[in-house]
Amino acid sequence: MEMPKGVSLWEDASVRLRKNKLAMCGLVFLVVMVLLCLITPWIVPYGYEEQDLRLGASAPSAAHWLGTDIFGRDMLTRILYGGRVSLFVGFIATFVALIIGVTYGAIAGYAGGKVDSIMMRLVDIMYALPFMIFIVLLMVVFGRNLVLLFMAIGAVEWLTMARIVRGQVQNLKQQEFVEAAVSIGQSPFAIIWKHLIPNALGPVIVYTTLTIPNVMLLEAFLSFLGLGIQPPSSSWGLLISYGVESMEEYPWLLIFPGVALALTLFALNFLGDGLRDALDPKASRD
């Protein structure tokens, strides 16, 4: 006779995720996109700034699959390099938000009482602030540098994460295994780090996946307005804003970077939704 095999939460979730076709498409697309962007410098046949002024803006052809821009620079190369920046900003700023949000939420949830209510009041107040306006302001006032961009975007996006983690920690805190950890004399830090956060990981992963597209959108929005990434660096947002300028004559300059950005955002959202269904079946789909 065979023993029935136990199914862990993660195995269970991965089975459910693999059944979700849209989410798997999203995952595959993302992996391919990230890999392509990582190895860009070694696979593209043209330089990032390599101009061919005789060529000018040319439509897609065998030599330039996605055409060239008005300086005769290869669009595929530029889109891949732009993707490096867009994805990099997306991941790093989300990471900043993740760290701040999880720490803040876990402390508030674990401390409870007055500390918790003060900390969460503060979050409520920050929710009401018009952050978009502040980010525009920050970028204008202090110049457009990348570190500030990360900090500004990270500072906006941690709020929801803090709320989610706090709720999770509050629930978990009352369970016996935490009591046991307290009784054997573990420090609050160890309890939060080793017992509470790992158990709250599901919602955190889901929300992180859904934060990345928001962050990328924000970066693209700022770059589009001329407040984000500055030339000679490039990002999808910046490429789109160049594309808009000449879309009447050379629509491919707008369409290709646009498609790259939109598909990536799609993929991330589908993956996030799929992860939510897989890891957190109780959460409503809204």
Partner 1 sequence: MWRFLTWRLLQAIPVILAVITITFFLVRAAPGGPFSTEKAVHPQVQAALEAQYRLDQPMIQQYLSYLGDLVQGDLGPSFNFPGRSVNELIFSGLPITAELGLYAMLVAVLIGGLAGVFAALKPNSLQDYVPMSLSMIGICMPSFLLGPLLVLIFGIWLDWLPISGWGNSPGDKVLPSITLGAMYAGYIARLSRSGMLEVLSADYLRTARAKGLPERVVIAKHALRGGLLPVITFLGPAFAGLLSGSFVVETVFQIPGLGRFYIQAAFNRDYTMILGTTTFLAALIVFFNLLSDVIAAWLNPRLRYQFKKAS
Whichever of 199 and 246 has its CB closer to partner 1, that residue is: 246
- How is residue 52 annotated by DSSP? -
- Report the amino acid identity of residue 174: Q
Binds partner 1 by CB under 8 A, chosen from 13, 93, 261, 275: 261
Of 11-19, 33-41, 79-87, 258-266, the window that binds partner 1 (rule: CB under 8 A) is 258-266
Binds partner 1 by CB under 8 A, chosen from 155, 206, 270, 274: 270
> How many chain residues bind partner 1 (CB under 8 A)?
39
User: At a CB cut-off of 8 Å and minimum separation 6, what does 31 contact?
Assistant: none
Q: How far is the CB of 181 from partner 1 (least distance, A)?
A: 37
Whichever of 193 and 266 has its CB closer to partner 1, that residue is: 266
Whichever of 1 and 128 has its CB closer to partner 1, that residue is: 128
Residue 147 interacts with partner 1 (CB under 8 A): yes or no: no
Q: How far is the CB of 191 from partner 1 (least distance, A)?
A: 33
Structure tokens at 187: 């420090």
End-to-end CA distance of the chain: 45
Residue 255 interacts with partner 1 (CB under 8 A): yes or no: yes
Of 67-75, 112-120, 181-189, 259-267, the window that binds partner 1 (rule: CB under 8 A) is 259-267
Residue 137 interacts with partner 1 (CB under 8 A): yes or no: yes
Nearest to 94 by CA among 178, 150, 177: 150
For residue 145, what are the CA distances in angstroms to 140, 141, 193, 223? 10, 11, 33, 11
Q: How far is the CB of 209 from partner 1 (least distance, A)?
A: 14
What mask, x for binding partner 1 by CB under 8 A, covers residues 113 to 132? ------------x--xxx-x
Q: How far is the CB of 126 from partner 1 (least distance, A)?
A: 9
Residue 142 interacts with partner 1 (CB under 8 A): yes or no: yes
**Degrees, nearest 5: CA angle 28-30-35:** 100
Residue 169 near residue 109, CB atoms below 8 Å: yes
β-pair partners for 248: none
Instruction: Give, as ranges, the residues between 215 and 244 that touch partner 1 (CB under 8 A).
Output: 217, 220-221, 224-225, 237, 240-241, 243-244
Structure tokens at 145: 């540098």
Nearest to 85 by CA among 237, 205, 213, 264: 237
| Sign of the alpha-carbon torsion through 149, 153, 154, 156 | positive
Residue 282 interacts with partner 1 (CB under 8 A): yes or no: no
Ordered DSSP codes for 114-175: HHHHHHHHHHHHHHHS-HHHHHHHHHHHT---HHHHHHHHHHHHHHHHHHHHHHHHHHHHTS
* Contact footprint for partner 1 (CB under 8 A): 125, 128-130, 132-134, 136-138, 140-142, 213, 217, 220-221, 224-225, 237, 240-241, 243-244, 247-248, 251, 254-255, 258, 261-262, 265-266, 269-270, 284-286
